[in-house]
Amino acid sequence: MYTENMQLLQVNQTRAGQETHSEHVLRQVRDLIREYGGWIGFDRYMHEVLHSPEYGYYSTGKVNIGTDGDFITAPMMGNVFAECLARQYMEILENLTCPDLAVILEFGAGTGQLALDILTCLDRESGLPGRYMILETSGHLIERQRALFENSASEFLSTIEWVQDIPRDITGMVIANEVLDAMPVKRFRVKNSQSIVELGVGLDQGLLSWEEGPPLETPMLARVRELGLPAGYQGELGFQAEYWTASLAEALEEGVAIIIDYGFPRREYFHPERSDGTIMCHYRHESNMDPFLRPGLQDITAHIDFTSIAEAGRLAGVEIAGFCSQASFLIGNGILDLAPSELAASSQKMLEITRQIKKLTLPHEMGELFKVLALSRNYPHSLCGFSLKDIQDRL
């Protein structure tokens, strides 16, 4: 039989030096659950273990992005991804009524590598924006981003600005790569056609466990009922990502927001194959579906229902400028021209670029699961990222 101490022992088997942290997180979460009468929503749990300023995975420096970390993202594979986004920015820049006002705003910049590579590319093309703003919620990652620029590209420090709130009247381009999947989600369980409950976190003999909470209320209930899901189905609703989209949409004055993440349009998202939802956790490049393992030491994510993001954007007054797979978006922005270009100064470099292109575009790698959604305001132009394919009718 498992006991509280046994769960701590299991935590103890993780990397030396980190067990104390995970024990601490576990105790904090247990206290919180007890304080709330034995149950908290999954969104609250996810917020605590990922984003609590005191002990969250992202806030405390436990997040480790890269080959020697927990997971890898497109910007960490090399500069090909950034080259494509820079090309997209240059096209947008040409169509703005006041290009002098153009900025780039990047949400959740992680290590800062994407910002650095985009700026390097735009500098080469004489297209530097007036400002490259970063809105990052993790104090630890802000330090890491600042150190990257101080140590390897101090010439860009006068262009970079770290902001705490979404700036008003954004003109230019907004980027959010793998940011929405880290935002807390609510979970639900369909018991039968009459009863749909919120699924949260409770304690079973002191261990974190899935527990049913109160019946769903509107608007969650209406949303789930509409889907006609069978009894037993469990899934997620990403309200925080929707609120974020609405705030961003309201702040966009002229230009395009590019949202890149793994996910599906709603009809595919709530597919019978995903009857247990889309929660995925990452620890040292291994994935699991147990968000109660190693609290505070592993990343927890949920896939994106892109239909809900598009709806939140439309409600806030922006248009859908395009939706497609990451592969289509990068090909539309010329990724396939990069290998034989002057960037590939040697055959070694050409091989390296080809490796990146394959990772980013092949269907069994990141090419199809990752999607790109573009929201625009006062920008009545097509985008080269969607020149190959635009499947927004599937949203």
By CB under 6 A, residue 211 contacts ligand SAM: no
What is the residue whose two structure tokens read 């030096």?
A: 17
Q: Name which position in 183, 196, 208, 339 contacts ligand SAM (CB under 6 A).
A: 183
177: helix, strand or coil: strand
Cα 146 to chain center, whole Å? 21
By CB under 6 A, residue 136 contacts ligand SAM: yes
The pattern of x and - marking residues 231 through 250 that bind ligand SAM according to CB under 6 A reads -------------x------
Distance CA 169, CA 249 (A): 10
- Phi and psi torsions of 98, nearest 5°: -125, 80
Q: Name which position in 46, 49, 115, 141 contacts ligand SAM (CB under 6 A).
A: 141
Site residue total, ligand SAM (CB under 6 A) = 21
By CB under 6 A, residue 77 contacts ligand SAM: no
SS3 letters for 207-252?
Answer: EEEEEEEEECCCCHHHHHHHHCCCCCCEEEECHHHHHHHHHHHHHE
By CB under 6 A, residue 390 contacts ligand SAM: no
Instruction: Indicate the residue among 7 and 301 with the shorter CB distance to ligand SAM.
Output: 301
Q: Name which position in 33, 133, 160, 182 contacts ligand SAM (CB under 6 A).
A: 182
CA distances from 190 to 198, 251, 273 (A): 9, 36, 15
Cα angle vertex 220, ends 216, 271, to 5°?
A: 105
Binders in 19-58 for ligand SAM, by CB under 6 A: 58
Closest CA to 107 of 67, 158, 164: 164
Tokens of 91: 């096209």
User: Is residue 130 within 8 Å of residue 103, measured between CB atoms?
Assistant: yes
Q: Residue 219, preceding bond cis, omega within 30 degrees?
A: yes
The pattern of x and - marking residues 291 through 330 that bind ligand SAM according to CB under 6 A reads ----------------------------------------
Q: Name which position in 52, 79, 88, 137 contacts ligand SAM (CB under 6 A).
A: 137
By CB under 6 A, residue 7 contacts ligand SAM: no
By CB under 6 A, residue 117 contacts ligand SAM: no
Q: How far is the CB of 229 from ligand SAM (least distance, A)?
A: 28
Q: Name which position in 57, 107, 292, 386 contacts ligand SAM (CB under 6 A).
A: 107
> Which listed range, 179-187, 206-214, 245-253, 323-331, lies at the site for ligand SAM (CB under 6 A)?
179-187
User: Is residue 18 within 8 Å of residue 42, measured between CB atoms?
Assistant: no
51: helix, strand or coil: helix
List residues binding ligand SAM (CB under 6 A). 58, 65, 73, 75-76, 107-110, 114, 135-138, 141, 177-179, 182-183, 244
